[in-house]
Amino acid sequence: MSKKLTSRSEDYSKWYNELVVKADLAENSAVRGCMVIKPYGFAIWEKMQAELDKMFKETGHQNAYFPLFVPKSLFEAEEKNAEGFAKECAIVTHYRLQNDPDKKGKLRVDPEAKLEEELIVRPTSEAIIWNTYRGWIQSYRDLPLLINQWANVVRWEMRTRLFLRTAEFLWQEGHTAHATKQEALAEAELMNNVYATFAEKFMAIPVIQGLKTESERFAGADETYCIEALMQDGKALQAGTSHFLGQNFAKAFDVKFANKEGKQDYVWATSWGVSTRLMGALIMTHSDDHGLVLPPSLAPNQVVIVPIYKSEDDLNAITEVANGILRNLREKHITVKFDSRTTHRPGAKFAQHELQGVPLRIAIGARDLANGTVEIARRDTLTKKVVALEDLTEKIEGLLEEIQASLFNKALDFRDNHITEVDTFDEFKKVLETKTGFISAHWDGTNETEDKIKALTKATIRCIPLEGDVKEGVCVYTGNPSKRRVLFAKAY
Amino acid sequence: MSKKLTSRSEDYSKWYNELVVKADLAENSAVRGCMVIKPYGFAIWEKMQAELDKMFKETGHQNAYFPLFVPKSLFEAEEKNAEGFAKECAIVTHYRLQNDPDKKGKLRVDPEAKLEEELIVRPTSEAIIWNTYRGWIQSYRDLPLLINQWANVVRWEMRTRLFLRTAEFLWQEGHTAHATKQEALAEAELMNNVYATFAEKFMAIPVIQGLKTESERFAGADETYCIEALMQDGKALQAGTSHFLGQNFAKAFDVKFANKEGKQDYVWATSWGVSTRLMGALIMTHSDDHGLVLPPSLAPNQVVIVPIYKSEDDLNAITEVANGILRNLREKHITVKFDSRTTHRPGAKFAQHELQGVPLRIAIGARDLANGTVEIARRDTLTKKVVALEDLTEKIEGLLEEIQASLFNKALDFRDNHITEVDTFDEFKKVLETKTGFISAHWDGTNETEDKIKALTKATIRCIPLEGDVKEGVCVYTGNPSKRRVLFAKAY
């Protein structure tokens, strides 16, 4: 492959940017801030989608599709939401191009073709969806309404980074309607739990579940649940959010239902989403200076087999052994590729699969043929061993499970070693300068203090954890009373 | 359910529009020409996607994702393509909204926030993709490049109809690059074949494969393959297209590769797509005056079980029997739902499942419990029979296969009975007035004659079939020599 990666210690940010491109995950496009997700990157996203989609359906949700565009007047109906997204929208103002008959193929906008009402390219779909739900919900029999959408959304961000922050990104957005506040709150919690389970079980990323402070909440939400992860550079990353929207959207869009007693009431709402940003979290949690490291659960190829041969005869014999391995592994639903390309030497193949994070690499050479062995290399530990062909399937199954668990535990250890309790503001600032990670500290509960700490340190309150220490104390900044510790960090 | 459907004979177009809404497939949205695909409709689309995606992957394609927006200058690079889509694009001109501090939540476009270069919302992605491929293709080793994208596209159509023609629609678009003309042609043919197989095997829609005439080709293509289906009103529907793009896009975007001899050459291209329009074809091919009829292969629920009970005890006993059936059917990967809703009476459930086209409905009542039977109703034939519980799974498997085959054969008979060979223009016009369907006639091969026939009859050349009668003759309109018959029809 091309030149070596920049190391993490040298320049973490540069390491990330290079890795995304060199591992063939994504690249910048000709459109400012919009990315191209390349086939290898998209294959990982597809695996994530498939697992999440299954989890959504198992919890009773159905998929649907709503328009890309939102008429401006609808977008403005819920004021807080409109205000929150006001500074990052792309706007369609014209609907049609005219040919200039003199210059074939050259287009110009006809000034007559201005839309009567401007259209916002959806940054999120609450407005268009709640405007639709008004027609779908009349009675308690229509509730709960549990819908999810897989879609592209656009937020015209000024500073973008592949996967982490792009002007267009892919995501899913759940939008549910309920008869009671309790049900809606339970739904918001349930889906935050689904996200946590997905992050830990499939992405091997330990997350902390919590609530956002008022200033960090989704615009238009009464409460925002979140999952927060810690990257290797000690910065936090918000990996998913689930919002209890109260009756805000129901009131804005006049969505009422007749309850069992026949009385009219506004419905209660939630929305929840994760995006291609998760790809950034996945990359940054596990990868190393050699390239991508993928948990087996999400690797497009869990195993790759590379033949090492000098003669056509050797290749034929190796192919025969490889085909047997392929058959056995596929029977166990292990994804495996036989890399028999003749255009690349084994060394180049090794380098590519290492860079692209294939969890297990099997090499088969002439000596292996003679001995009835293969060489297995683990991507996460960069260790190799020669093993007998006997029970190879079971060995590989075991190794894949071991890698999945090991990646999670390694990330968990790192995360747990980077949560520092502090009781003074001096300690607070010192941790940010030296160790980074999460800072567990008391806070007086006011926006004002939160803002001041942010202005002084760039650290924000990532969440008020749902679990853990709930002892009272005094605010690390003001000394005022505090009900419990919250988690601060610098964040992506 | 609500009022009866308009019948097909009364008003075919009204029947279709009502059916789409009443069967909960889709509805119009607040955005002109854009639809909401409701959960039941989307579940069918998801099944279609899953099968197509599998077929694409089996033929070596990978998915990727490219930006929604295309800078205007890129969009114009391939002149014919730009010209072809010039009259139906939505254009983003502004990138950002500003808050008006005096009116909280009210937005206005800041006139300063005009984009330097206008962005076209993709009507199709050749331009942005070929601009990207320039960076991906250097040598013959990078070819073939076989990529597909599932995406939303926007064509600002003036007259829209749910699924058949909407301003925004969902589709997949394959974009491939090849070293030779022959390979690219073979790819275009292969994918048209994949579409034909999918239409016939899964949608139970017989299709004719053919080539488009020059005037009906995709803008920018050298050759367009298509599959054409016939709807129950005798109008044709283009269900999928696969384009051989020659070197047009490679030249427009300067995409060259070094061949094995080290010489530089432009690559050869194809693109191919099917869209949510297929939903319209599916609905119109099989459905009747009672509602939707779905082929079992694509039905979200292949079987629904409705309990008929007066006492709680009956319901418990029926539930036990139903659970056994559910278990057995699910083991055979048959999708089945037990409709135990207490909010609806059996009659309402029957009506809903009939309207929504569930292929098989099983009713279980007290008498069935006593006799060890169930009642099975077939949606396609509207026939019922009482059968013993014994071997029920096998019976249902058999019935589902029978329905799938029967729907295809019925549509095939209809189609074959609506292909009329004519040799005079009087006959031609008479068929259009009476029988409709495809007209197989000789044509002299000129755009001029095609245009005249279209102006006089509204019938267009749907395709030059790849198979069938290739005897020479004389043009039905001009009397000039013709190499073979082509298929004319009025079309959607």
- pLDDT of residue B79 exceeding 60: yes
Of B42, B97, B154, the CB nearest to A86: B97
Tokens coding A178:
């309920």
- pLDDT of residue B2 exceeding 60: no
Ordered DSSP codes for A78-91? SHHHHHHHGGG--E
Ordered DSSP codes for A238-272? EEEEEEEEETHHHHHTT-EEE-TTS-EEE-EEEEE
Residue B313 burial (C-beta neighbours within 10 Å; 0-12, 13-18, 19+): exposed
Report the pLDDT averaged over residues B23-37.
96
Q: Is the CB of A46 inside 8 Å of chain B's CB atoms?
A: yes
B 165-204: CB under 8 A from A? 168, 170
Q: Is the CB of A35 inside 8 Å of chain B's CB atoms?
A: yes
Q: What is the pLDDT of residue A116?
A: 85
Interface test with B, best of A21, A69, A337 (most B CBs within 10 A): A69
A118/B74 Cβ within 8 A: no
Tokens coding A197:
């389970």
Q: What is the pLDDT of residue A101?
A: 44
A135/B67 Cβ within 8 A: no
Chain B: nearest CA to A80, how far in angstroms?
A: 7
Q: Is the CB of B69 inside 8 Å of chain A's CB atoms?
A: yes
Q: What is the pLDDT of residue B65?
A: 98
- B36 CB neighbours in chain A (<8 A) are 64-67, 132
User: E strands within A29-167?
Assistant: 35-37, 62-63, 69-71, 91-94, 97-99, 107-109, 114-121, 145-154
Q: What is the pLDDT of residue A158?
A: 81
- pLDDT of residue B102 exceeding 50: no
B 302-321: CB under 8 A from A? none
Q: Is the CB of A76 inside 8 Å of chain B's CB atoms?
A: yes
Search chain B and give the residue with CA nearest A118.
B109
Q: Is the CB of A118 inside 8 Å of chain B's CB atoms?
A: yes
Q: Is B220 left (phi over 0), alpha (psi -120 to 50) or beta?
A: left
Amino acid identity at B51: E
Chain A: nearest CA to B98, how far in angstroms?
A: 6
Q: What CA–CA distance (Å, rounded) separates B94 from B97?
A: 8
Note the Cα A310 to chain centre separation in Å: 44
Q: What is the pLDDT of residue B101?
A: 44
Per-residue pLDDT band at B106 (split at 50, 70, 90): low
How does strand A419-421 pair with strand A438-442? parallel
Search chain A and give the residue with CA nearest B143.
A343
Q: Is the CB of B101 inside 8 Å of chain A's CB atoms?
A: no
Q: Is the CB of A38 inside 8 Å of chain B's CB atoms?
A: yes
Q: Is the CB of A56 inside 8 Å of chain B's CB atoms?
A: no
Query: Each residue's pLDDT tens digit in chain A (492 positions)?
Result: 456 899 999 999 999 999 999 999 999 999 999 999 999 999 999 999 999 999 999 999 999 999 999 999 999 999 889 888 888 889 998 876 544 444 444 555 565 678 888 999 999 999 999 999 999 999 999 999 999 999 999 998 888 999 999 999 999 999 999 999 999 999 999 999 999 999 999 999 999 999 999 999 999 999 999 999 999 999 999 999 999 999 999 999 999 999 999 999 999 999 999 999 999 999 999 999 999 999 999 999 999 999 999 999 999 999 999 999 999 999 999 999 999 999 899 999 999 999 999 999 999 999 999 999 999 999 999 999 999 999 999 999 999 999 999 999 999 999 999 999 999 999 999 999 988 899 999 999 999 999 999 999 999 999 999 998 789 999 999 999 999 999 999 999
Q: What CA–CA distance (Å, rounded) separates B379 from B177?
A: 45
Of A71, A75, A170, the CB nearest to B65: A170
A27/B135 Cβ within 8 A: yes
Q: What CA–CA distance (Å, rounded) separates B85 from B87?
A: 6
Per-residue pLDDT band at B108 (split at 50, 70, 90): low
A69/B107 Cβ within 8 A: no
Q: Is the CB of B118 inside 8 Å of chain A's CB atoms?
A: yes
Chain B: nearest CA to A317, how far in angstroms?
A: 26
Search chain A and give the residue with CA nearest B154.
A68
Of A63, A95, A109, the CB nearest to B118: A109
A408 and A427 Cβ atoms separated by less than 8 Å: no
- A89 CB neighbours in chain B (<8 A) are 95-97
Of A27, A65, A135, the CB nearest to B37: A65
Interface test with B, best of A22, A24, A28, A31 (most B CBs within 10 A): A31
Q: Is the CB of B132 inside 8 Å of chain A's CB atoms?
A: yes
- B255 CB neighbours in chain A (<8 A) are none
Counted residue by residue, chain B has a size of: 492
Of B29, B64, B93, the CB nearest to A39: B64
Counted across chains A and B, CB pairs separated by less than 8 A come out at 197
Q: What is the pLDDT of residue A96?
A: 63
Interface test with A, best of B2, B27, B29 (most A CBs within 10 A): B29
pLDDT tens digits for range B307-351: 999 999 999 999 999 999 999 999 999 999 999 999 899 999 999
Chain B: nearest CA to A417, how far in angstroms?
A: 38
List, edge to edge, every strand of the sheet that includes A438-442. Answer: A62-63, A145-154, A168-178, A268-275, A236-246, A223-230, A208-211, A460-465, A485-489, A438-442, A419-421
Domains of chain A are: 12-68+129-286 (3.30.930.10), 301-399 (3.40.50.800), 419-489 (3.30.110.30)
Search chain B and give the residue with CA nearest A132.
B29
A199 and A229 Cβ atoms separated by less than 8 Å: yes
Q: Is the CB of B154 inside 8 Å of chain A's CB atoms?
A: yes
Closest by CA to A407, choosing from A232, A168, A233, A170, is A232
Residue A216 DSSP label: G
B71/A30 Cβ within 8 A: yes
Q: What CA–CA distance (Å, rounded) separates B216 from A258?
A: 53
How does strand A107-109 pair with strand A62-63? unpaired
A 248-277: CB under 8 A from B? none
